[in-house]
Amino acid sequence: MDRKQASQVTTGLMLIALGLMFLAERLFILPAVDLHRLWPALLIVFGLSRALAPARAGNRGGGAWLIFVGTMFLLHTYRVLRLDESWPLFIVAAGVSILLGPHGLKPRSVVSDPGPAAGAPSGLAPESPAPPQSETHGA
- Given a cut of 70, whether residue 123 has pLDDT beyond it is no
Distance CA 16, CA 9 (A): 10
- Rounding to the nearest 10 degrees, give the CA dihedral for residues 119, 125, 126, 128: 160
Confidence of residue 138 (pLDDT cuts 50, 70, 90): low
- Span 3-50, pLDDT tens digits: 677 778 878 888 888 888 788 778 877 677 677 788 888 888 888 878
pLDDT, position 106: 58
Which of 52, 56, 67 is closest to 97 using CA atoms? 67
Given a contact cutoff of 8 angstroms between Cβ atoms, the answer to whether 53 and 2 are in contact is: yes
- Span 72-94, pLDDT tens digits: 998 998 889 999 999 999 999 88
Confidence of residue 71 (pLDDT cuts 50, 70, 90): very high
Distance CA 36, CA 39 (A): 6
pLDDT, position 130: 62
101-106's contacts with Cβ under 8 Å and 24+ in sequence apart are 101/59, 101/61, 102/57, 102/58, 102/59, 102/61
- Kindly report the pTM of this predicted structure: 0.56
Q: Where are the domains of the chain?
A: 3-100
